[in-house]
Amino acid sequence: MTAVEPVAAEAGRDFIRDIIQADLESGRRSEVVTRFPPEPNGYLHIGHAKSICLNFGVAAEFGGRCHLRFDDTNPVKEEQEYIDSIERDVRWLGFDWGEHLYYASDYFEQLYGWAEHLIQAGKAYVDDQTQEEIRATRGTLTEPGTDSPFRNRSVEENLDLFRRMRAGEFPNGARVLRAKIDMASGNINLRDPVLYRILHAHHPRTGNAWCIYPSYDFAHGQSDAIEHITHSICTLEFEDHRPLYDWFIENLPVPSKPRQYEFARLNITYLVLSKRVLTTLVRENYVTGWTDPRMPTISGLRRRGVPAEALREFAKRIGVAKANSVVDMQMLDFSIREVLNRTAERRMAVLKPLKVVIENYPEGQSETLEAVNHPDDPTKGTRKLTFSREIYVEREDFQETPVKGFFRLSPGREVRLRWAYFITCKEVVKDASGEVVELRCSYDPETRGGNAPDGRKVKATIHWVSAADSIPAEVRVYNNLFRNPAPTPATFAEDLNPQSLEVLTGARLEPSLADVPVEQAVQFERQGYFCPDADSRPGALVFNRTIGLRDTWAKVQGGG
């Protein structure tokens, strides 16, 4: 992997930054240490991108550091593939954790010791109830829970049983360790939460050393404390867990006292960001994998050609809020188009070719034309195009009987070929079924470069490629995976868009597109932004559509 260029800090104002600023100015904190703590049980999605940008961003802005810590407390769902993909995604977004890469499993021995500390203090006990019994006795939002019959075991008995749990004497589900807090608490998270469960499973990093594993709630805050995290920033669904987070910090001899702060998670129209749903999409073959360009995963967006800068700009644009809301998909599209319009070079490609024979152009002759790579960036230079008697144009750029408002090719009408000449359609050739298979045209040799010496104007400019040297390609046109703007995890299968992928097998591209790196987007003029797919091979090119050219969100915002 190539070296990651550091991302410049982009200071903004929001309540998280205000808290950090106040902590530093008051002396409550002398440095800023944040963390991004993903579970390695799936690929990261665009919601994680928002969190990555926030945690790494504020650390950079305030001269601190951000740790990458894998929450690997559930060995049955964790795989090295996910760890590798998470590291790759964070780096691709433009961030680096340096030497600060950690795993919750690094702290298993310390966490176990702290669990014994709670037992010895009379604040934890071993419960023999089943998972169903614990759930049934936990109570509701309006009714208190019921004490476990094992809640008042002696310290000695609890220590003995917990140590035997660690030694592997009991089967899965036979016992758990619970904190002894308050079964009548208005916050259900404080009703004697489970700290450890028995799980005889091989762990990717610790092997078979452990058969009991800590809960997320128990491991998370203590891992923060071990790493001296100052601001533990998480999404709003963890707000009700904060009293438990604080209870552990106050009741354990931890080396530091981090604070948890919550912000609104990302919700976007036409997307489902539930990891459970994303996993189901992959495992039940609704998509081709975690990196399918229709997926909202960072890997899927990258494969589709979305630049990292666009995701960072999107995260900056939507900001950091305290209340959950839904972001319009067009706002993400706007961020992608804005970056690609500025950075992507232009090329010509015909997705649905229609052959054109220019009858008055000499047979066997060709010429070289010059085309600008980017209309607003002269530093990107120019490229050469070959023009000859036979070319391809887009099939939809021709109508035999033009409708009102159609100004492109039709019988007797003159149009401009981009970077080339004016041509006029003289004859339409059809096959036995009546389908148009070829156009016979003439060109004006005085209009080379696209302008007429006599000053006459045409109403349309169309793109084209040479029949002789254009190259074939498969083009995958991706649309929204869901047709419902508000798909739900419960009914996601019903909301899937059957037109989320259209595969075009007969596209023709200008030759320079053979050299574009995988995942680097270019603009197909008049078509949209596309990038080579990882499936692409010499002689068998595959391009993915990143996004079309239309910018409806800008219009909604009054941008024209």
Please enumerate, by residue number, every residue annotated as part of a binding site for ATP.
39-41, 45-51, 235, 265-266, 273-275
Confirm if 429 and 440 have CB atoms less than 8 A apart. Answer: yes
Annotated catalytic, 77? Answer: no
In whole angstroms, what is the distance from residue 201 CA to residue 185 CA?
34
In whole angstroms, what is the distance from residue 480 CA to residue 294 CA?
7
Task: For 409-436, give the secondary structure using H, E and C.
Answer: ECCCCEEEECCCCEEEEEEEEECCCCCE
> Catalytic pick from 39, 133, 157, 390?
39
Annotated catalytic, 275? Answer: yes
In whole angstroms, what is the distance from residue 255 CA to residue 150 CA?
32
Q: Are strands 422-430 and 353-358 parallel, antiparallel or unpaired?
A: unpaired
Residue 338 falls in which region: left (phi positive, over 0), alpha (psi -120 to 50) or beta: alpha
In whole angstroms, what is the distance from residue 389 CA to residue 357 CA?
6
Give the DSSP per-residue string, 94-125.
T---TT-EEEGGGGHHHHHHHHHHHHHTT-EE
Cα angle value 510/514/516 (rounded, 5°): 110
In whole angstroms, what is the distance from residue 68 CA to residue 87 CA?
9
> Catalytic pick from 275, 316, 440, 483?
275
Containing 276, the helix (H) or strand (E) segment is helix 275-283
In whole angstroms, what is the distance from residue 283 CA to residue 41 CA?
13
Strand order through the sheet with 422-430? 461-462, 414-417, 422-430, 436-444, 353-358, 390-394, 464-466
How far lies 78's CA from each of 43, 73, 374, 513, in Å?
11, 9, 45, 39
> Catalytic pick from 17, 65, 265, 418?
265
Annotated catalytic, 265? Answer: yes
In whole angstroms, what is the distance from residue 182 CA to residue 193 CA?
10
Residues contributing to the annotated binding site:
39-41, 45-51, 71, 216, 235, 265-266, 273-275
Containing 444, the helix (H) or strand (E) segment is strand 436-444
In whole angstroms, what is the distance from residue 518 CA to residue 302 CA?
10
How far lies 351's CA from each of 22, 100, 347, 509, 530, in Å?
56, 47, 13, 8, 12
In the chain the first and final C-alpha atoms are separated, in Å, by 40
Residue type, 381: G
Confirm if 375 and 346 have CB atoms less than 8 A apart. Answer: yes
Exposure class string for 396-414: b at 16+ Cβ within 10 A, else e: ebbeeeeeeebebbbeebb
Catalytic center residues: 39, 265, 275
